[in-house]
Each structure stands twice: as structure tokens, then as C-alpha cells.
Chain A
Amino acid sequence: MLAKVYVTLKPGVLDPQGKAVRSSLASLGFLGVEDVRLGKYVELRLAETDPGRARAEVERMCERLLANTVIESYRVEVS
């Protein structure tokens, strides 16, 4: 199975990288960008074939390592 994990900063957590990207976009003339939030994308190829078990396993990985839940949240897609 393929698991896709999106790790993003929780709302309200300062994202200086996002701010820098937004200001670069503005300097390129893309003036309509109100906010930019950067995150991480992780792709995992799993031996597991049951979607439910795969998702549960990946969620445990997120809790333990892939995300720091003090400041980040995550979303898992399994296919």
C-alpha cells in the first residue's frame, strides 16, 4: 500500500518560512496571496495490504516520529 502523510504546522504557530515565501511571491507580482503555510509531505510504501491496519500503523508513526504534535498536525491518506 502507499501511504501519503501531510505534516503541517498547527493553526496559530508562527511559520517564518511561509512568510518568506509569501513575500517572494509578492515580489514576483503574485499579490493576491493572503497567507502561505509550508509543511512536509512523506510517502511510505507499506507491505501491509489492509487499509485500516495500514492507516493505524502510519498514524502511530506520525505520533512517535513523523510529526511533533506539540506544534504540528498530520493527515494520512492510504491507497
Chain B
Amino acid sequence: MKVGVVVFPGSNCDHDAAHALELLGHEPLLLWHKETSLQGVERILLPGGFSYGDYLRAGALARFSPIMAEVGRFADRGGPVLGICNGFQILCEAGMLPGVLARNASLRFVCKHVHVRVEAGESLLTRGLRPGTVLRLPIAHADGNYTLDDAGLDALERSGQILFRYCDEEGQLSAGANPNGAMRAIAGVRSERGNVVGLMPHPERACEGLLGATDGRALLESFLS
């Protein structure tokens, strides 16, 4: 499958994503952010990094890149869009996903493997995964503190839009297992319609034993199925 990986100035996980897509037998196509054609791709992936140096707010400037108008139209037609880390931040800034990724509560850049619990099965990212499944994935970010007002959070809970929560190895939620202070320990969400998904952890860096984790494979395979 042809998958577009959007490259913004400051993206730095674009090649990781392309590598993982190739590994899974797909055909990544790097799309420069100034392009206005998606060149017939069937999936769009917004990779991690520091688009526009995180100036103003993480993701705030990238959302106005020319290609994002096309990405928005693609999503409006029901096209599947995945945002990882900075890609997640961009989708939130663009209003394509609810919430904001604010500065980590610790104020530190956190780079380590964490555990997340699958909250909703049968989403674009979690097909074939039972709710409660614990995955081990790497994170690397300074702005991953998922923030939304209480009414918005309640609505996400009701509609099953929360896909992942940070947890410990056993799948239990605790302040110690939440690496960034995210409200309700949210690590990933989907849009109301379900075709736009975003998460802070990096599944593309967890597809090979050599890299120390393989739980990302199931998520990307789900996205690509």
C-alpha cells in the first residue's frame, strides 16, 4: 500500500516511519510539506520531530503548511490519517483531533520506554487488540501532557475515543506510570469519526527486536490493514 509520510521542516522521524512501513511490506512516499498533491496515497502518516522548531506551540505552525489543506480534505473524505508524537500535536492544533499537548508536567524532555493500555479495540490503530492489552512503546517528547476541559474529556470517554492510557507493566494506572502528567493518563485518541488517530508513543520505533521493542508492529499493521 502507498503511504504518504509528510515531511515538515524539523521532522526527524520521517525516515524511521518510512523504514517501518517498508519493513511491513508497504510503500512509503515522503511528501514535502509544500506539496499540494497527495499523489494517490491510501494512508497519511504525520511523523514525529520538531516541525518549525516547535515555535509558538508544538505543531501550531505546521498545521498551516500547504499540504495540510490536502490532508484535511483527505480526512474529510474518510481517509485514514495517523499522527505520531509531533504528528499528534499537529493534528490537535489543526482541530482534526480533540485536545492539546501541553508542556510535560515535569518540564523535562522524557525519552524512555513506557507502557500503555489499549482502551478501545477495533479502532484504526487497535484492530485485533483486546481492550486491556498492555503494550511497551518508546516515547520522546517535552510536550505530551494531554489537556482538555472536563466536559470534553467526559465526551471522549463516552464515545470511546480514548485509544491508549499510560499504565504500569500490569496495566494499572498511577501517577508514577504517567510520564508527562497527561489528563486521565491519555496517550492516544481518535477523531469522532474514527479515521484520524494520534498518539505520543512511537510505534514506528518498536517494530524490530533489534530496537528493543516490537509492540508497535500491531498498531501499524492495524493502520495499514
Contact = CB atoms under 8 A, between A and B. Distances in A.
Interface of A: 13-14, 16-17, 20, 40, 65-66, 68, 70-71
A17 B142 CA distance: 12
Contacts of A65: 56, 60-61, 64
Interface stretch (B12-20, B40-48, B103-111, B192-200): B103-111
Interface of B: 56-57, 60-61, 64, 93, 99-100, 102-107, 145, 147-149, 181
A16 B107 contact: yes
B181 A71 contact: no
Contacts of A68: 57, 60, 93, 100
A13 B102 contact: yes
Contact of A71 (B60, B61, B105, B147): B147
A46 to B, nearest CB: 19
Contacts of A66: 56
B103 A17 contact: yes
A14 B56 contact: no
Given A16-B181, A65-B64, A70 B147 contact: yes
A14 B57 contact: no
Contacts of A20: 107
A71 B100 CA distance: 8
Nearest to B99: A70
